Amino acid sequence: MSSLNNKQILLGVTGGIAAYKSAELIRRLQDFGASVRVVMTPAAQEFITPLTLQALSGNPVHTQMLDPEAEAAMGHIELARWADLVLIAPATADFIARLVQGQGNDLLTTLCLASDAPMAIAPAMNQAMWRTESTQSNISTLTQRKVAIFGPASGSQACGDVGPGRMLEASDIALAAEKLFTPGTLAGKKLVITAGPTREAIDPVRYISNHSSGKMGYAIAQAAIEAGASCTLISGPTNIEPPRGAKVINVTSALDMHTASLSEAEQSDIFIASAAVADYRPLAIAEQKIKKANSDTMTIELTKNPDIVADVAAMKNKPFTVGFAAETQDLESYAKDKLKRKNLDLIVANDVSRTDIGFNSDNNAVSVFGPASTDIFSECSKHQLARLLIDLIAQKMPGH
């Protein structure tokens, strides 16, 4: 499986004749499993149309800094947060100079300033422009700033010159991008993760549940696979496509998830309980649909569900056990209490009272508590956060 699988790549296209190669590059990145969104400079649109790149990427192409519809939700910041990699191909001499200077006078340069994601450029220009002292100085500066430089290649150019400056072929750029993401931190490990909500039946048509979308758990499963782990995903009801390579066990209720978790955890190295499991279930499930009564109230007697993560952590040969704490107040104190009380190795705590992160959002921000450690991860996409969490777990495991 490619290390680009499920990665989110923001492809910046600037104004050079090599812009036609960007269409092929989108395809090659998608072949590796990446999702691609495109940002074009005004000059790039003179060489290839946004409609072409929209059709190939399957996503709207972004061309304007001041797009009223997108900016109503601070669209350029959302794009910057979305990206796992910012890739500029082709990168003209003019764009490279503006990038070095830290300019933010169009959408693409602003995104480069606003994103914390790794950045790579594929230079494309006339051989004389490439060789000039100013361009080489700019390339040296970007290299010092940890910007990856893909190419350029040498050969005949559109202007008739021969020499360095040609943009690499799309397949070579995709391979270079793949090498920026190195899997292997959990190679050979077996990881089990729970995700999504549970549904506790009241009668054949009604149930008790919660707002969990499963996005965080599925992202962690993907990150674990990328890190080389064998992954079992025990999932409550969601509308998400599971990551390729995961063994998926679909469950509905907390009791179903409990049974599957204890069975799978026995042979696992890591157990991550990210599911939002119902604390209680109806004591009795009506065999037929409960009809509306004359009374304005209805009473349902509930009984406590088993504590999945605590039961896994109590196993004789327990795996490295990571819990989640979704809280609306006193985040740190509640999380640390669960960590100790349930005998966990780590607990990931997030504030679900915030409407911009957590349940149903594509972003999250968490604090991770261990017996003698605290790690804080600021807001980013759940896929980015998942990789950070997997790296942290790999570091905290015994023997690291």
Residues known to be catalytic: 159
Cα–Cα dist 252/117, whole Å: 36
Cα–Cα dist 278/281, whole Å: 7
What tokens appear for 90 in the block? 């082709």
Task: Answer whether 198's CB lies under 8 Å from 253's CB.
Answer: yes
What tokens appear for 294 in the block? 């004359």
Q: How many other C-beta atoms are found inside a 10 Å radius of the C-beta of residue 157?
A: 20
Between the two ends of the chain, the Cα-to-Cα distance in Å is: 25
Identify the CA nearest to 82 among candidates 64, 93, 99, 70: 70
Identify the CA nearest to 266 among candidates 224, 312, 226: 312
Strand-pairing partners, residue 304, are 280
Cα–Cα dist 162/154, whole Å: 7
Strand-pairing partners, residue 280, are 304
Q: How do beta strands 190-195 and 230-235 pair?
A: parallel
